[in-house]
Amino acid sequence: MRNRILALAALAAAIGSPLAAQAQSTVGRAPAVVDSGPTIAVEQRPAFRDYVVEQRVPAFRIPDRVVVGATLPESGITYYDVPQRFGATTYRYTVVNGETVLVEPRSRRIVEVLD
């Protein structure tokens, strides 16, 4: 019984450590990618920003700051597919508070703020 409790405590500590490190990585730093999934390459970003402007996607307003790791509201925001020419990505994009963001569609979590 004692070994089970120790094993569960060790497992909880191992699982919690990456989450704590991930949360700390966004404090006091410029926006960065939270996940290691494929995003838009740096050299493709100017063309992608131009694409977003050309598409005239509606901008949404939220009362919170637009930062990496923030979760967007469940309703009221439309997400758009990133065209294949900007790289294969599972993320979607939208414009929130004037910022173009990449979002993980299932969790609605911002994974990158494109400047």
For the chain, percent of residues with pLDDT exceeding 70: 68
Distance between CA 11 and CA 32 in Å, rounded?
A: 28
For residue 47, what pLDDT is reported?
94
Residue 1 has what pLDDT?
55
pLDDT in tens, 12-65: 555 554 444 444 443 444 444 444 567 889 899 999 999 999 999 999 999 989
Distance CA 39, CA 36 (A): 8
DSSP 27: T
Q: What is the dihedral of CA 52, 53, 58, 60, to 10 degrees?
A: 80
SS3 72: coil
